Structure 1
Amino acid sequence: MTLSVSVTVERWPVDGSFIISRGTKTHVDIVLCTISDGLHVGIGEATPIYYEGESADKCADDISQFVAKHPKLDRAILLQKMPRGAARNALDCALWDLDCRKNGTSLSQHAGLPEPRPLISAFTISLDRPEIMETKAREAALNGHGLLKLKLSGQDDQARVAAVHRGAPAARLIVDANESWNDLDIAAEAARLGPYAVELIEQPVSAGQDHLLSGVRSPVLLCADESCHTSADVERIAPFYDAVNIKLDKAGGLTEAMAIAHAAQAMNLKIMVGCMLSTSWGIRPAFALAQLAQWVDLDGPLLLAKDRPVGFRFDSGTIAPANWKD
């Protein structure tokens, strides 16, 4: 069956600014893909990974060109013919959504994932001066967030973590080094963070430099992010990490993201499911996958100035669909 595909680019303002070691964002451009069989419509949202050279306009062009060449679209063709990334994510998730609407099933049922339940999601504290991060952490704790993720840069990291811990002493912490610890003693850096309830360190070294972790005895679990894009990467990174952060935009869709999760489980790696800045439509499939995860970081919509009219409910640090019945 030939499907009708349309793609648009939308710009969504960030609530204030979102700061990591690579720069500051005041808005996010997302790609919205709609697929119709004439009776049913599926929607997929994706956020281009800018540090890999993606842009919303390029992703939209890639989708249009791919659909023109492959009018009989399905998920198997996507995996075989289209490179991973946000463009494939938008198409893949739209196809999953279309199938669910055609069959009258939930995504979890259709994908064979556990029945959804509300999840504790991390709330991100942007990279900033320690005193500002402390204030943001205190505000987050007052709003019920018990799991915080803070961005680091490789400089003054202990001061930033200590400040966040002062602001939210009861909170569990995840730190994201964003590939900034290449030249540091990683075990020593991790040991310095131990007293502050840090339970996971994301991507301490640059992607492709994972060998720097060989023999490192970290007192805090290490999680691969940029070093693991697809299921084919899992076996390679497993000797160096304890966990893997799965993002649908990075993997190129829910189909490949599930393959990463299953490969990680087979290698005894723990799972984190994260997201880029996005609206609630962008994290719908990630929420289904996150039912398998030990850590969830799906606060993308919370970091925007506004969300879709019917989005996820974020309540006291938990995330659930807007129509969730307690």
Structure 2
Amino acid sequence: MDIQLKKYVLELKHTFSISRESYDFQDSLIVCLSLDGKTGYGEATSNPYYQITTEKMISEINDIADELKNYTFTSPEDLYSWLTLKNISNFSKCAIDLAAHDLYGKLLNQPLYKIWNTDIGHYPVTSYTIGIASVEKMIEKLEAFPWPIYKIKLGTDRDIEIIRRLRAHSNAIFRVDANCAWAPGETVKNSFILKELGVEFIEQPLKADNWEGYKTVYKESALPVIADESCIIASDVEKCLGYFNGINIKLTKCGGLTPALQMIKTAKKSGLKTMVGCMTESTVGISAIAQLLPQLDYVDMDGAMLLKKDIAQGVRIEAKGKVIFPELGGSGITLN
């Protein structure tokens, strides 16, 4: 296989803020794997919370580039097993794994959802994220982009006020994500108020390692609670039983589509709701997520919708969340 790395700086339409950080630009690495005249594309973004930079990923992948070029590619799953033996981060594995899946589907001339025997006749609608800002700015974003489901980022000293004010301007479904900013008692108290305000669930309200706190919240919350930072890799899924109602899988954090498929399978067997979320990715990463849609209860794949300018074509999300899948095999990605 031939391998090529492309670094991009993605500019956002608006400053994106969560409880622990704000940014206007997102560094992204695209991995291109080519074989027999076909090229597959994968993506992973930098992430300060997990101490991942594009430079780190480039260095890790370059260290195994010669081996990758000589690797006999048969399936993404076999390649992923090989990658697990290498000293690279899950973010780097993700970019390679996504590219391998896209390449595999293109070689077979089949989209991934068909290879996995899933039906895109029914799928969940993606949420659209409203990042932390002044309440007025959050209302402005909401009104400028009418959508059926919003994910509202919280973690301020005015969280309930934010939801009350936004609710006055929209009848859409609300989901809230506190990104580890709340305490257990605060979460339980907020859950009853938020339920009255039409919130569907709360994502990762406490710090990732506060398992005792999550035990309390799980028992006492008026709303379901979804794990994000507390559920990173496949072995974390079963740990969430009795602490969470569902899990939010991030491809970059778990290592790509291969482990994500296993996490979905384990979660369903365990009775946990399944969700896949995105970072601020381009259409490269979002098109990979979209292949999983028939297997999910919820999805947050609005990353490319938040960008001023995309770098690729693939899966498109239209009004009211309708997803248009390309005819091209794999994840259906072409770079602009």
TM-score (norm 2): 0.89
What's the secondary structure of 1:160's corresponding residue?
Answer: helix
Quick check: 1:34 aligned with 2:32?
A: yes
8 Å CA contact 1:28, 1:277 repeated in 2:
yes
2:142 corresponds in structure 1 to 137
What's the secondary structure of 1:128's corresponding residue?
Answer: coil
1:52 corresponds in structure 2 to 50
1:300–1:8 distance in 2 versus 1, CA, 3 Å: same
Aligned with residue 275 of structure 1, among 275, 278, 284: 278
Matched AA of 2:20: R
Q: Equivalent residues in 2 for 1:21-170 (5 A)?
A: 21-69=19-67, 71-72=70-71, 74-115=79-120, 119-141=124-146, 145-168=147-170, 170=171
8 Å CA contact 2:43, 2:285 repeated in 1:
yes
1:260–1:283 distance in 2 versus 1, CA, 3 Å: same
What's the secondary structure of 1:8's corresponding residue?
Answer: strand
Q: Equivalent residues in 2 for 1:302-317 (5 A)?
A: 302-308=305-311, 310-317=313-320
CA RMSD of aligned residues (A): 1.9
1:318–1:149 distance in 2 versus 1, CA, 3 Å: same
Unaligned 5+ runs, structure 2: 74-78, 328-336
8 Å CA contact 1:84, 1:251 repeated in 2:
no
Q: 1:295 Cα deviation (Å)?
A: 1.3
Write out per-residue CA displacement over residues 242-276 of structure 1, whole angstroms, 9 at most, x where no aligned residue: 01001111111000111111111111000111101
Write out per-residue CA displacement over residues 25-78 of structure 1, whole angstroms, 9 at most, x where no aligned residue: 111111110111243221112212321000111111111113335542622212
Q: C-alpha separation between the residues in 2 aligned to 1:162 and 1:115?
A: 35
8 Å CA contact 1:124, 1:149 repeated in 2:
yes
Aligned with residue 6 of structure 2, among 8, 16, 22: 8
Q: 1:322 Cα deviation (Å)?
A: 5.8
Unaligned 5+ runs, structure 1: none
1:35–1:55 distance in 2 versus 1, CA, 3 Å: same
Q: C-alpha separation between the residues in 1 aligned to 2:279 and 2:200?
A: 21
What's the secondary structure of 1:317's corresponding residue?
Answer: helix
The number of aligned residues is 318
* Deviates further, 266-275 or 309-318: 309-318
8 Å CA contact 2:234, 2:262 repeated in 1:
yes
2:292 corresponds in structure 1 to 289
1:99–1:237 distance in 2 versus 1, CA, 3 Å: same
Matched AA of 1:42: G
Aligned with residue 18 of structure 1, among 16, 19, 23: 16
After TM superposition, which residue ranges in structure 1, 4 or more long, deviate above 6 angstroms? none
Q: Identity percentage over the alignment? A: 27
Aligned with residue 224 of structure 2, among 221, 226, 235: 221
Q: C-alpha separation between the residues in 1 aligned to 2:123 and 2:3?
A: 32
